[in-house]
């Protein structure tokens, strides 16, 4: 017994009655449309109305609203007005503040942690350089018969030296920025 052959696949959504090629092209068109859209870079402004309520909008305000600040969609774009300088917004009224002594203590702890990390990383770098011995460490007994194992170990040792050097440089840069 032979089953009747289907002419095309019919998905459960409307509009696919013309066949799978038509349905696929519709889906593809929809996918391309979504992919082609980019996020909007709108200018968002903060306004206060007559009652003191704060409103955010990318549209011009109603009459009587006072402009508090504006954030431009693409901060690096040249469409920012000449008088609009980027300034930091004040902290909200209930936002906790840290006094200078507390912040100094936190900064001191941060510098100590960075110095400790730097000392540990410099020690690891010295050890890695000692193992690497300028790219010519003596082969291990199991590596004497297999040159590929020796090359792999040398590459691994070289990579360890490079990583530790990069870590030391990054920690030095972070310490310089923390002072």
166 inside domain: yes
24 inside domain: no
Last residue of a domain, one of 87, 121, 144: 87
122 and 166 in a single domain? The answer is yes
21 inside domain: no
pLDDT tens, the chain, 179 aa long: 566 665 555 555 554 455 555 656 666 666 666 665 555 556 788 888 888 888 888 777 777 888 888 876 655 444 455 555 555 677 788 888 889 999 999 999 999 999 999 999 999 999 999 989 877 888 888 888 888 999 999 999 999 999 999 999 999 999 998 87
CA atoms of 149 and 137, how far apart (whole Å): 13
121 and 165 in a single domain? The answer is yes
49 inside domain: yes
Contact 61, 71 (CB under 8 A): no
109 and 81 in a single domain? The answer is no
Tell me the CB-side half-sphere exposure of residue 15, using CA atoms within 13 A.
7
Contact 121, 160 (CB under 8 A): no
Does the pTM surpass 0.85? The reply is: no
Residue 4 burial (10 A CB sphere; 0-12, 13-18, 19+): exposed
The number of folded domains in the chain is: 2
CA atoms of 7 and 22, how far apart (whole Å): 14
Dmax over Cα atoms in the chain, in whole Å? 90
65 inside domain: yes
**Residue 33 neighbours by CB under 8 Å, 6+ apart:** none
- 67: domain range? 40-87
Contact 167, 118 (CB under 8 A): no
């Amino acid at each position: 017994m032979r089953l009747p052959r289907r002419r095309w696949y019919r998905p459960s959504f409307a509009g696919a009655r013309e066949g799978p090629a038509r349905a696929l092209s519709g889906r593809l068109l929809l996918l391309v449309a979504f992919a082609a859209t980019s996020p909007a870079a709108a200018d968002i402004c903060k306004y206060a109305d007559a009652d003191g309520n704060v409103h955010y909008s990318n549209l011009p305000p109603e009459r009587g609203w006072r402009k508090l600040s504006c954030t431009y969609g693409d901060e690096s774009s040249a469409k920012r007005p000449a008088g609009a300088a980027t300034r930091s917004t004040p902290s909200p009224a209930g936002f906790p503040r840290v006094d200078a002594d507390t912040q100094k203590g936190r900064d001191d702890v941060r510098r100590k942690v960075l110095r400790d990390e730097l000392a540990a990383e410099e020690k690891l770098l010295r050890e890695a350089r000692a193992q690497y011995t300028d790219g010519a460490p003596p082969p291990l007994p199991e590596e004497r018969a297999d040159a590929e194992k020796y090359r792999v170990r040398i590459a691994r040792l070289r990579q360890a030296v490079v990583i530790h050097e990069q870590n030391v440089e990054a920690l030095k840069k972070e310490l310089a920025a923390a002072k």
